[in-house]
């Protein structure tokens, strides 16, 4: 029986349907607060800001799930962005506080190779683990954490998304439950803006009828030959990943294939080596900070929200 995680009015999306997860994984209370709270009704997407919520979704999963936030100080387009201030706090702190709202995470840690980031995390009472500076990707950094910290699942939470939705984290976690043949889980969102279809910075994903990824690409996929489909075909990949421990530990030793090299997409390494990636549909829209201009936009959103609350 498929289950649906609905918006509890704090920050979430209208509905995240997990059609391939057995209903034994979670129990959903039939009592829900209104989807748009009368006390918080901003003029922009409500999923960007969360409110305290009552526990209504109860996990029956007995395994440990660890959230990991990989954070580097070096960045080609925006050095030091992890510590850039958003509404008076380091961006990384916003990510930490939102991830802590996840219902399923049993622990959370920041993985970094930089003492400045480590010091900032300790200042806001976060937990940090120092890792090697030689990792080519965030997944490789997570693999080092997995070798030192025991868990059944590890969640890769992007450190440059200060508006991360805790329910998106939970949806990704549920995607890998109940099917041990699935090595990874991630999210996709329908593309509404046609310009995103041809934008190489927006990664597209196509899936099979089981919900497993067929391919990820920076190119427009699939190709509509006749251009008359009434079905939603184009989906944006949301870069939030959940890994099984065994797969994550093996990831650094997997061969890097020609597709990963061509697309510069690390998730293709799993697919090129024969692993399955379960992809769950969500309405969550990620808002990453890759440039100073992105940071300015996010700060404006926080300022608008503060003004709305105080007014």
| Alpha helices, DSSP H, located in 149-187 | 166-175
Determine contact, residues 185/277, Cβ cutoff 8 Å. Answer: yes
Helical H runs in the chain? Answer: 91-99, 115-123, 138-148, 166-175, 194-198, 245-250, 258-263, 267-272, 292-310
The tens digit of pLDDT for each residue in 68-112 reads 999 999 887 789 999 999 999 999 999 999 999 999 999 999 999
The token duo for 54 is 């009552």
Q: In the chain, how many domains are there? A: 1
Low-confidence residues of the chain, pLDDT below 70? 1-62, 311
Residue in the block written with tokens 């994984």:
25
Q: Pick from 112, 186, 104: which is nearest to 152 by CA? A: 104
Quote the pLDDT of residue 62. Answer: 55
Q: How many CA atoms lie within 13 A of 212 on its CB side?
A: 14
* 257 neighbors 268 (Cβ within 8 angstroms): yes
CA distance linking residue 111 with residue 104, whole number of Å: 20
pLDDT at 70: 94
For 8, 11, 46, 271, 291, the CA distances from 38, given in Å and listed in that order, are 13, 13, 12, 45, 34
For residue 175, count other CB atoms closer than 10 A to its CB. Answer: 25
pLDDT number for residue 271? 98
**Could you count the other beta carbons within 10 Å of the beta carbon of residue 65?**
22
| Sequence-separated (6 or more) residues with CB below 8 Å from residue 162 | 86, 91, 94, 95, 98, 287, 289, 298
The pTM score is 0.79
Using DSSP, state whether 39 is helix, strand or coil.
coil
Rounded CA separation 206/204 (Å): 7
Query: Looking at residue 141, what is its pLDDT?
Result: 93
Res 311: pLDDT:
65
- The CATH number given to whatever domain includes residue 305 is 3.90.550.10
280: containing domain: 3-310
E strand map for the chain: 3-6, 15-18, 26-28, 57-59, 65-71, 85-86, 89-90, 107-112, 128-130, 153-156, 182-190, 204-207, 213-217, 235-244, 276-281
């Amino acid at each position: 029986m498929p289950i649906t995680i609905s918006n509890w009015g704090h920050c979430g999306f209208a509905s995240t349907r997990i059609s391939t997860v057995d209903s034994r994984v979670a129990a959903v209370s039939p009592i829900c607060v209104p989807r748009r709270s009368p006390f918080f009704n901003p003029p922009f997407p409500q999923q960007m800001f969360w409110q305290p919520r009552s526990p209504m979704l109860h996990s029956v999963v007995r395994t440990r799930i660890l959230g990991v936030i990989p954070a580097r100080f070096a960045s080609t387009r925006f050095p030091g962005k992890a510590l850039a201030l958003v509404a008076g706090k380091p961006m990384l702190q916003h990510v930490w506080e939102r991830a802590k709202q996840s219902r399923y995470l049993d622990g959370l840690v920041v993985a970094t190779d930089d003492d400045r980031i480590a010091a900032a995390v300790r200042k806001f009472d976060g937990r940090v683990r120092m890792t090697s500076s030689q990792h080519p990707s965030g997944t490789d950094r997570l693999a080092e954490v997995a070798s030192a910290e025991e868990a059944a699942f590890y969640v890769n939470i992007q450190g440059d998304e200060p508006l991360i939705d805790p329910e998106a984290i939970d949806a990704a976690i549920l995607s890998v439950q109940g099917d041990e043949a699935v090595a990874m889980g991630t999210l996709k969102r329908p593309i509404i803006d046609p310009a995103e279809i041809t934008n190489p910075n927006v990664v597209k994903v196509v899936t099979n009828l089981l919900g497993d990824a067929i391919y990820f690409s920076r190119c427009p996929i699939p190709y509509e030959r006749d251009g008359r489909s009434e079905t939603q075909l184009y989906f944006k990949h949301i870069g939030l990943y959940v890994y099984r421990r065994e797969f994550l530990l093996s990831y650094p030793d997997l061969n890097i294939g020609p597709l990963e090299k061509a697309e510069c997409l690390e998730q293709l390494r799993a697919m090129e080596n024969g692993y399955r990636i379960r992809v769950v549909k969500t309405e969550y829209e990620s808002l990453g900070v890759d440039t100073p201009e992105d940071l300015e936009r996010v700060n404006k959103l926080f300022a608008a929200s503060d003004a709305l609350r105080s007014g």
